[in-house]
Structure 1
Amino acid sequence: MESRAKKKPKKKRTLLKTIIIIFILLILGGLGFAYYMYHSLANTLDGTHQALHRKVSEKRDEGVKFSEKDPISILLLGVDEREGDRGRSDSMILMTVNPETKSMKMVSIPRDTRTEIIGHGTTDKINHAYAYGGVNMAVDTVENFLDVPVDYYVQVNMESFKDIVDAVGGVTVNNSLDFTYDGVHFKKGQISLDGEEALKFSRMRYEDPRGDFGRQERQRQIIQAVIKKGASFNTLANYGDILDTIGKNIKTNLTFDNMKDIQSNYKEARHSLEQLQVNGEGQKVDGVYYYVVSEAEREKLSTELKEHLNIKQ
């Protein structure tokens, strides 16, 4: 498993603001707020917009129609940005949303997954796609790996993780593993976390017998906790902090109008979230560690995601 890799992991932060972008309208857009607050949100989210090199995925016959409640897919990219270097996408999660079944599915793709890097002509770790060609190459590579369309993406600067947790007043999770990491003890059971603690809670993987999958589960818990906390009325007091954090640390091809449509037609899907696993095994190829996924496993995942997206096989 990835947890056995010798290379020391870099800072890991979950993609919480990704979910906040989609569901922030539950807080501000749908509750009849004053003109200033509404337009503060609009201006912030307009500033996060960054289009892809294409409007519609080649894996779709036509574009998504929000008014008809077409299922959609969103690639969540957690990027470790460094000065003078665009960095790598150390967290990659594909989320599919089906408003008719009122459900979401999330696939966390291990960063060391060996696959073809589309547009680069190499086979490498999937998180290198962003380093080679930015968000466009990352989107194309994930589409090829899972053989499903990526309609939208949300890119998050992973350095900002703790800020959004603090902006919503902290989160509460149910911890299944008693452990200590980076000077903080996390007891088993229900615990409350501030931003710094949530960062450490989601980062640990070597002490978890489930390795990277255990870490993904803790990330999912924090994502759900932020959604729940963000949708509460009490969070409105911190809306300025939330908007400031979003504006500084997120890029997406979702427009403000897209987000309003999602709020209107897709919000009930947040109540059912299933996390899918990418099953594989750790192998060394030419002395380099990779997470190798069989063709049968890829096809299995692809079939489940296509069914959730109502895409004909």
Structure 2
Amino acid sequence: MRVNKLKERKRRRLVRIVWSIVAVIVIGVGLYGLNVYLSLNSALETMHQPIEKSDKREQEVSITKKDPFSILLLGIDESENDVGRSDTLIVTTVNPEDNTIKMLSIPRDTRTEIIGNGTVEKINHAYARGGVEMAIDTVEHFLDIPIDYYVQVNMEGFQGIIDAFNGVTVDNDMDLSHNKYKFPKGKIHLTGEEALVFSRIRKGDPRGDFGRQVRQKQIIQAIVNEAKSLSSLWNYDDVFKSLGDNVRTNISFKEMVSLQQQYKSLKTNIEQLQFEKFNGGYIGKYWYFFPDEQEVKDYQQLFKEHLGLL
């Protein structure tokens, strides 16, 4: 009898210990989840910068409603005393019904009218003249389509974001080097500093600015892939802080969630586009990229159809 009571007391003690451990785990997970939420919420509040609806839209579109929409990605090179220029301009259109994405890189030296400034100069000067709004207006005029959303990334910020993910992996399509940096052909893992150099190389690539555009898209794709990984949550504080410091967008959190869900099914249907017909030359002391007028019209037509505007 005494032995049975002793066994029962041990069993109860063991149950209490197990429940105490479970309670600690539940509380720990809850606190971790709360910290993640608060850190994410703080970053999103800083990142979210709304803009007015495009004049080329009669009605607002919404990612959550699965409307076809467009996004302008602006990679900004800026220093402490310089507002910077948009050295990366990538127009992306998404058609959820067709399950397709089209991405077009616009060379930064493209000569075009800067809308709202009354000048004709390099398209990357639009951001320097009038910020995101002027950059969007200029791209809308150039491609004759509405820009519904934008994502502005400080190029220097790529470094912090990538380091927060402990680096990214890309499939490099050719041997490249720049000063002390060597980038062999094939799959390579890059730190933030290496990725920044990798994305900026032009003179070492026979494709010039087009090669740079390819690598910038690879880095963006790699960051998106890392962001989808659960392991990245262990560095959530660094990730969210870096995002909050270096990214501005008018995409809301609800739309981000919807976009991420759509991306899962769209990621294999991305068509990468670039200008194939062009001339280049100097006007005064500045070199310009002169796109072929017919190719510009063809892309205008293509994007209008993809956005369901025709």
Q: TM-score, normalised by structure 1?
A: 0.83
Distance 1:217 1:110 in 2: 11
- Count of matched residue pairs: 278
Q: Does 2:248 correspond to 1:251?
A: yes
Contact 1:146 1:302 in 2 (8 A): yes
Per-residue deviation, 1:101:
2.5
- Unmatched tracts of structure 1, length 5 or more: 1-32
- Unmatched tracts of structure 2, length 5 or more: 1-31
* 3-state SS of paired residue (1:87): strand
- In the alignment, what sits opposite 2:197? 200
Contact 1:102 1:270 in 2 (8 A): no
Post-superposition CA distance 1:159-184 (Å, at most 9, x none): 11111111112122222211221202
Distance 1:207 1:201 in 2: 10
**Higher percent of residues as helix:** 2
2:110 to 109, 113, 128: 113
Deviates more, 1:141-150 or 1:60-69: 60-69
1:305 to 291, 295, 303: 303
* 3-state SS of paired residue (2:257): helix
Q: TM-score, normalised by structure 2?
A: 0.84
Contact 1:69 1:266 in 2 (8 A): no
- In the alignment, what sits opposite 1:133? 130
* 3-state SS of paired residue (1:81): strand
Contact 2:156 2:196 in 1 (8 A): no
- In the alignment, what sits opposite 1:7? none
Distance 1:198 1:210 in 2: 18
Distance 1:85 1:184 in 2: 27
Distance 2:231 2:64 in 1: 31
Distance 1:207 1:123 in 2: 29
Contact 1:162 1:195 in 2 (8 A): yes
Post-superposition CA distance 1:112-135 (Å, at most 9, x none): 100011011111100111111111
Q: Does 2:291 correspond to 1:293?
A: yes
Per-residue deviation, 1:42:
2.2
Distance 2:159 2:265 in 1: 27
How do 1:223-242 and structure 2 match up within 5 A? Answer: 223-242=220-239
Distance 1:147 1:226 in 2: 30
Q: Does 2:123 correspond to 1:122?
A: no
Distance 1:65 1:164 in 2: 27
- In the alignment, what sits opposite 2:95? 98
| Higher CA-based Rg | 2
Post-superposition CA distance 1:148-167 (Å, at most 9, x none): 11001111111111111111
Post-superposition CA distance 1:260-307 (Å, at most 9, x none): 333345553233322110232212224431100122111111111122
- In the alignment, what sits opposite 2:4? none
Residue type of the alignment partner of 1:302: Q
Distance 1:66 1:77 in 2: 19
Deviates more, 1:265-274 or 1:246-255: 265-274
Distance 1:51 1:228 in 2: 26
Per-residue deviation, 1:246:
0.6
Post-superposition CA distance 1:22-47 (Å, at most 9, x none): xxxxxxxxxxx834323421221122
- In the alignment, what sits opposite 1:48? 47
Cα 1:263–1:190, aligned 2, differ >3 Å: closer, same or farther? closer
Contact 2:102 2:272 in 1 (8 A): yes
Residue type of the alignment partner of 1:48: M
Q: Does 2:166 correspond to 1:169?
A: yes
Distance 2:139 2:206 in 1: 27
Distance 1:275 1:83 in 2: 33
Cα 1:270–1:298, aligned 2, differ >3 Å: closer, same or farther? same
Q: Does 2:52 correspond to 1:66?
A: no
Residue type of the alignment partner of 1:206: K
- In the alignment, what sits opposite 1:86? 83
Q: Does 2:213 correspond to 1:221?
A: no
RMSD across aligned C-alpha pairs, in angstroms?
1.8
Runs of 4+ in 1 over 4 A off after TM superposition: 264-267
* 3-state SS of paired residue (2:49): coil
Distance 2:249 2:63 in 1: 17
Cα 1:209–1:39, aligned 2, differ >3 Å: closer, same or farther? same
- In the alignment, what sits opposite 2:11? none
How many percent identity over aligned positions? 52
Residue type of the alignment partner of 1:146: L
2:268 to 266, 271, 279: 271
